[in-house]
Structure 1
Amino acid sequence: MRDKSMPKKTKRTKQKKNTSSNFDFINRQLSYARYLLEREEYEEMISICEPLRNRIAKHSPSYSQLLLLLGLAHLMLEHFQESYDIFTEGIELDPTKTEFWFNRGESAYHMKRIGRAVRDFDRMIELMGTHKLSGEMAQDIREIREEFQLLLQEIALTPEQYFEREDNFLAGVRAMKQSKWHEAEQLFKQIATIDPNIPSYWTNLGTALVMQNKYDEAEEAFQRALQLDPGYVLARRNLENLPALQGGEKKPDIKTVGEAELQEMQHPTSSNDKNSVDQSSASQTTFKNASGAAMNTRTRLGKLEPRYMFFLNPYLDARFTVCPLCGEKMKLRKFTLLVHVDPAYAYVTTMQCRYCPINDLLIVHKNLLEERMAAYYSKFYPDAVGNDYLVLGTLKWSEWEQKDDTFSLEEVIEHLHDFKEVVIFK
């Protein structure tokens, strides 16, 4: 029995005790999440952090810590859309927190939204200053900026046009998710006007038109996408579904390109893809695809030790910012390439290429190489324009970087590293 002489606990006292207890619980959970982060137990981190989102006041410092931990867990698990959304929420609540800007930039980069990544990294640097960047972080950001500049050269857009295109694409996708079909139609028409050479723009425009029963216009949009890329499965399937939709035989099941599939896309390239080379030597280099199946054989020509696994990328909607073998970010590196051009030209050029040091994989974008070759041969050897060609290997950069020119094969064979193998990614 309670002693009546003891004072009663007021409601305010009980509320204070409950608040203190909740605060202690939240701090323990956040400390445990940080411990899990060190142990790289990211799924357990999410299970700890997610329930706290409804228990912490959104404008409190603890909520900011929670978003950072939760976003990092999703980022490390490669849930890039989830991490991007969480860091965006953090930026809206506290736009001065540099960790949110940097990690959203990382998420955007892995989602192939390189323009968004560059903007986020630039904002982070504005807030913290370049002097506080670690050497590795500064190098990564510098490489991504170089990659962005290279991309702008490839697609012939200004940064402002690129950002408008990217923002409108994502706004169009969001409009489709909300069934705002007329709004989506206008957005995709706008970006298709800025850059009419991207199949996904026409495919999504066609989808928005279908959902408004504008079948004739939708058919034109899907056909335009297929003219740009005859192998574009999404556009072909949607086009094949149109007759049944027009006849009322089935409900719309039209596919779109969404945020997760957003790619850094380029202009179409030449269809000249036949390669040839004189095969006079006895030793052979095997061409293999990514699964290891033999594709072809080619004579080894170079006198130096073969280097690199090589892929000549013919795809316009895949720029391989991450390695197709290990998933790590690919580096931008300069390589001096030797190209055999029929009938007997040896073309040497130095250009930036994608490179994965983990797998020793070198990727050259076919359209960029052909643009260089076309510009050179149109000026000096017009009869060779459009001839078959084959990338033979690499030369030592320091010796050949200033020699963007044509030589006899005998002049360069002593300095040539053949490729270890040539792969095909489908």
Structure 2
Amino acid sequence: MDKLKQGIEEMQNHNYEEAAKLFTEAIDENPNEPVGYINFGNLLMHMNDNDRAVRFFNRAIEIDKTAATAYYGLGNAYYEQEKYTKAQEQFLLAVKNGLEEADVHFMLGMTFIHQEYVKLALPYLLRAAELAPDDVDVQFQYGLCLAQNGQIDASEKVMNHVLQLEEQHSDAHYNLGVVALHKEDARKALDHFRQALEINPEHMLAAHAKSQVEQALNE
């Protein structure tokens, strides 16, 4: 097994020092190969050393301007630093250079969400949802974005799909409660808020909404 594969295995097993040693040796042996730098960048991300990770991803891009996974890694590093515009630029370059996975579209969508551009986020989250129909986080964020864009029926459908994937998803229940209120079905809303609280008794939004609905029903 080559050193990069060994290093990835060690990283997956949380043996970060051993992984770093193997990646360093791989880079020393092939200094003009971008993959070693990309893997080292990913390792540094796992270790929450985003500043150094940025340097390794940039080095990979210097070597190969078409290294899509280097742009993706760099985007993630900027995202973790809450530099959402910079992250967005890198994710777009990853897509431009051929990366067509759910993760990159999802992260692109999330950069727009953090900048409160919910309309711009929607097509990317839609694409991520198409590519990862069984990913709970992707489906939930897509459903949330639909609601934020006023597409209530579509959001309801996606949130129900989230519950099929994960029955104990308190936030999906909460959002279905909000959808029910939009449709003026207070009792259905109350049921969802109660279920959200059964799953997560600390769900403050659900608790507040439940008390408001109960008060309205009692008047």
TM range (shorter): 0.5 to 0.7
Give the direction of change, closer, same or farther, for the CA distance of 1:144–1:100 in structure 2 (3 Å limit).
Answer: same
- Paired residues for 1:53-72 under 5 Å: 53-58=61-66, 63-72=67-76
Q: Does 1:52 align with 2:53?
A: no
Deviations 1:317-355 (A, max 9, x none): xxxxxxxxxxxxxx8563999xxxxxxxxxx9x89xxxx
Deviation of 1:395 after TM superposition, in Å, equals 5.5
| Letter matched to residue 178 of structure 2 | K
Rounded to whole Å, the distance in 2 between the matches of 1:359 and 1:44 is 37
Aligned residue in 2 for 1:135:
136
Aligned residue in 1 for 2:47:
39
From the two aligned structures, give the one with the greater helix fraction.
2
Deviation of 1:137 after TM superposition, in Å, equals 2.9
Deviations 1:113-147 (A, max 9, x none): 11121110112233x252xx322332222122112
Aligned residue in 1 for 2:125:
121
Deviation of 1:358 after TM superposition, in Å, equals 8.2
Rounded to whole Å, the distance in 2 between the matches of 1:22 and 1:336 is 58
Give the direction of change, closer, same or farther, for the CA distance of 1:358–1:23 in structure 2 (3 Å limit).
Answer: farther
| Letter matched to residue 140 of structure 2 | Q
Rounded to whole Å, the distance in 1 between the matches of 2:179 and 2:97 is 45
Give the direction of change, closer, same or farther, for the CA distance of 1:358–1:56 in structure 2 (3 Å limit).
Answer: farther
Rounded to whole Å, the distance in 1 between the matches of 2:180 and 2:65 is 57
Structure 2: tracts of 5 or more residues without a match: 1-28, 153-173, 191-200
| Letter matched to residue 48 of structure 1 | F
Deviation of 1:394 after TM superposition, in Å, equals 6.0
Give the direction of change, closer, same or farther, for the CA distance of 1:57–1:83 in structure 2 (3 Å limit).
Answer: closer
- Paired residues for 1:36-185 under 5 Å: 36-58=44-66, 63-94=67-98, 96-126=100-130, 128-130=131-133, 133-149=134-150
- TM-score for both structures, normalised by structure 2: 0.56
Rounded to whole Å, the distance in 1 between the matches of 2:42 and 2:123 is 28
Rounded to whole Å, the distance in 1 between the matches of 2:202 and 2:85 is 26
From the two aligned structures, give the one with the greater strand fraction.
1
Instruction: Say whether the 8 Å CA contact 1:336–1:400 is kept in structure 2.
Output: no
SS in 2 for 1:149: coil
- Paired residues for 1:304-383 under 5 Å: 332=175, 334=178, 360=204
SS in 1 for 2:149: helix
The root-mean-square deviation of aligned C-alpha atoms, in Å, is 3.8
Give the direction of change, closer, same or farther, for the CA distance of 1:89–1:136 in structure 2 (3 Å limit).
Answer: closer
- TM-score for both structures, normalised by structure 1: 0.31
Rounded to whole Å, the distance in 1 between the matches of 2:65 and 2:179 is 53
Rounded to whole Å, the distance in 2 between the matches of 1:334 and 1:92 is 37
Give the direction of change, closer, same or farther, for the CA distance of 1:358–1:147 in structure 2 (3 Å limit).
Answer: farther
Give the direction of change, closer, same or farther, for the CA distance of 1:105–1:21 in structure 2 (3 Å limit).
Answer: same
Instruction: Say whether the 8 Å CA contact 1:75–1:83 is kept in structure 2.
Output: yes
Instruction: Say whether the 8 Å CA contact 1:67–1:90 is kept in structure 2.
Output: yes
Instruction: Say whether the 8 Å CA contact 1:67–1:86 is kept in structure 2.
Output: yes
Identity %: 11
| Letter matched to residue 122 of structure 1 | L
| Larger relative contact order, structure 1 or 2 (CA cutoff 8 Å, min sep 6) | 1
Rounded to whole Å, the distance in 2 between the matches of 1:42 and 1:358 is 32
Give the direction of change, closer, same or farther, for the CA distance of 1:98–1:361 in structure 2 (3 Å limit).
Answer: closer
Give the direction of change, closer, same or farther, for the CA distance of 1:118–1:22 in structure 2 (3 Å limit).
Answer: same
Aligned length: 153
Rounded to whole Å, the distance in 2 between the matches of 1:142 and 1:81 is 23
Rounded to whole Å, the distance in 2 between the matches of 1:114 and 1:32 is 34
